[in-house]
């Protein structure tokens, strides 16, 4: 008699913000900040660099720096401060979403009276991917834009016209207690951050169940389907990271 193997778990529970590292002098700024790497290239199928979380104590600064090879989002989770984009200050608060493409300079200053926490996802621009592969970089891509959105107000932000790499969309998903929602895409892996609430994730044929709480980050595999059930009002930030199809195109 041959036993059937269990299907692979369609998600990676990549961690929570409870355990974090102290970082000194981040991007040249004085003082201590906090940081957590949820996923790096080893876990990501898309042309992505990292999924991270960071926190600035009151008065702290994440130093200004230029992005020379990656496209990056900052999603402010709590607190308030000033986002520095190419030398200009932009007031930010929970829900502020900054898209920074290659060639731009950004930094962050906590001007509030509570810690400023934000979610970070960094992806490779097509030109960077091409150079790393020893190929000619594409021409005509607009790599000069940096914009700030209010995700909590807009609910869905498309990155077309700003980003040219795999990070295609940022969405806000909110579920009332008891509601279920199936998430997953065939052409992309999804990075999720639990902003508020509690719940569970499960999948058909999979015995493992992951319990969700604020500060949890998950990565859903491309081609998988995962069911989210809210125990309390559940707020998720969901990022679409396109994966390459056969033949190398997205």
Superfamily of domain 11-242: Jelly Rolls (2.60.120.10)
Domain ranges of the chain: 11-242
The DSSP call for residue 112 is S
50, 122 contact by CB (below 8 A): yes
As a whole number of angstroms, the distance between CA 138 and CA 141 comes to 7
The predicted structure's pLDDT at residue 1: 41
Q: Give me the average pLDDT of each 10-residue run along the chain (250 residues).
A: 60 88 81 91 94 95 88 97 93 97 92 97 83 64 76 97 94 98 97 98 90 96 96 98 69
The predicted structure's pLDDT at residue 250: 54
CA distances from 116 to 122, 142, 216 (A): 19, 31, 17
Residue 137: both structure tokens together:
């970089």
Strands in 28-166 per DSSP E:
32-40, 48-56, 61-66, 70-78, 80-85, 88-93, 96-100, 105-110, 116-124, 146-150, 156-158
CA distances from 91 to 98, 137, 190, 206 (A): 11, 35, 28, 44
183, 226 contact by CB (below 8 A): yes
The predicted structure's pLDDT at residue 28: 77
The predicted structure's pLDDT at residue 136: 64
The predicted structure's pLDDT at residue 19: 86
- pTM (2 d.p.): 0.91
Question: Where is 129: in which H helix or E strand?
Answer: helix 126-132
Backbone φ, ψ for residue 81 (5° rounding): 175, -160
Backbone φ, ψ for residue 97 (5° rounding): -125, 115
As a whole number of angstroms, the distance between CA 201 and CA 109 comes to 35
Three-state secondary-structure class, residue 153? helix
Minimal CA–CA distance to 157: which of 145, 169, 147, 146?
A: 169
As a whole number of angstroms, the distance between CA 149 and CA 240 comes to 17
Q: Is 16 exposed, middle or buried (0-12, 13-18, 19+ CB in 10 A)?
A: middle
As a whole number of angstroms, the distance between CA 131 and CA 79 comes to 38
The predicted structure's pLDDT at residue 246: 53
Backbone φ, ψ for residue 151 (5° rounding): -65, -40
């Amino acid at each position: 008699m041959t036993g059937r193997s269990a299907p692979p778990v369609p998600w990676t529970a990549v961690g929570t913000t409870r355990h974090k590292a102290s970082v000194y002098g981040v991007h040249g700024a004085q003082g201590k900040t906090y940081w957590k790497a949820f996923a790096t290239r080893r876990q990501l199928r898309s042309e992505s660099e990292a999924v991270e979380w960071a926190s600035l104590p009151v008065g702290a600064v994440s130093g200004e720096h230029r992005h020379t090879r990656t496209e990056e989002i900052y999603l402010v989770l709590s607190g308030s401060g000033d986002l520095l984009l190419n030398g200009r200050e932009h007031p930010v608060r929970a829900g502020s979403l900054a898209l920074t493409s290659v060639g731009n300079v950004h930094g962050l200053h906590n001007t509030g009276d509570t810690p400023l926490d934000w979610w970070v996802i960094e992806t490779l621009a097509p030109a960077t991917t091409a150079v790393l592969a020893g190929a000619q970089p594409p021409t005509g891509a607009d790599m000069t834009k940096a914009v700030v959105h209010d995700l909590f107000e807009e609910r869905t932000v498309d990155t077309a016209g700003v980003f040219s790499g795999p990070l295609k969309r940022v969405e806000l998903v909110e579920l009332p207690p008891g509601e279920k929602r199936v998430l997953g895409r065939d052409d992309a892996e999804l990075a999720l951050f639990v902003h508020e609430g509690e719940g569970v994730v499960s999948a058909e044929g999979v015995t493992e169940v992951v319990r969700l709480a604020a500060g949890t980050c998950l990565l859903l595999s491309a081609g998988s389907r995962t069911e989210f059930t809210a125990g309390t009002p559940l707020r998720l930030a969901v990022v679409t990271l396109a994966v390459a199809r056969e033949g190398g195109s997205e």
